[in-house]
C-alpha cells in the first residue's frame, strides 16, 4: 500500500508541475519592480525670452529696431522682451529658411543688422 501511495503522489506531482509552470513560471527569477520616471529638463536649456533678457538693453533696442526695419516687428521699440519680439525673431528665421528657435545666432544677427542698415540707407 505504501508503494502504491508513493507512486500516486509522484504521479500527481509530475502532472501538476507542467501546469504550475505554465501559470506562474518560477524559473525566470524575481520580477523587476516598476520604476517611476520623471521627465528631466536640462538646466542648460533656456527659453528665448530668458536669452533675450540676458542681453544688454542697447542690444535689445537694436534688435527690435532691426526687426522693425525688415518688416517683422510691429510694436514699441522699448528694449523690453515680449512674446511679440520672440515671434518676430521666429518669423524672420522662417523667412530665411532657418530653424525657428526664437534666438538669433551670430550669423543670423549679422545678416539682420546688414539688411536693416541697407533699408535705412535706401530711405535716406
In a domain, 25, yes or no: no
In a domain, 9, yes or no: no
pLDDT for the residue 68: 96
pLDDT for the residue 70: 96
What domain range includes position 60? 48-123
In a domain, 18, yes or no: no
Span 3-57, pLDDT tens digits: 666 666 666 666 555 555 555 555 567 787 777 777 665 655 678 888 888 899 9
Backbone angles phi, psi at 113, to 5 degrees: -60, -40
CATH value at residue 55: 1.10.101
Question: In sequence order, which residues have a C-beta less than 8 Å from that of residue 31 and are 6 or more positions away?
Answer: none
| Domains: count for the chain | 1
In a domain, 7, yes or no: no
pTM (2 d.p.): 0.63
Amino acid at each position: 500500500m505504501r508503494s502504491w501511495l508513493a507512486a500516486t503522489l509522484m504521479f500527481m506531482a509530475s502532472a501538476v508541475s507542467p501546469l504550475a509552470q505554465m501559470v506562474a513560471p518560477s524559473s525566470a527569477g524575481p520580477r523587476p519592480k516598476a520604476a517611476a520616471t520623471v521627465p528631466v529638463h536640462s538646466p542648460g536649456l533656456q527659453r528665448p525670452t530668458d536669452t533675450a533678457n540676458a542681453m544688454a538693453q542697447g542690444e535689445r533696442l537694436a534688435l527690435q529696431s532691426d526687426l522693425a526695419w525688415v518688416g517683422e516687428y510691429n510694436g514699441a521699440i522699448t528694449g523690453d522682451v515680449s512674446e511679440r519680439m520672440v515671434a518676430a525673431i521666429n518669423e524672420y528665421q522662417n523667412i530665411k529658411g532657418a530653424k525657428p528657435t526664437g534666438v538669433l545666432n551670430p550669423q543670423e544677427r549679422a545678416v539682420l543688422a546688414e539688411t536693416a542698415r541697407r533699408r535705412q540707407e535706401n530711405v535716406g
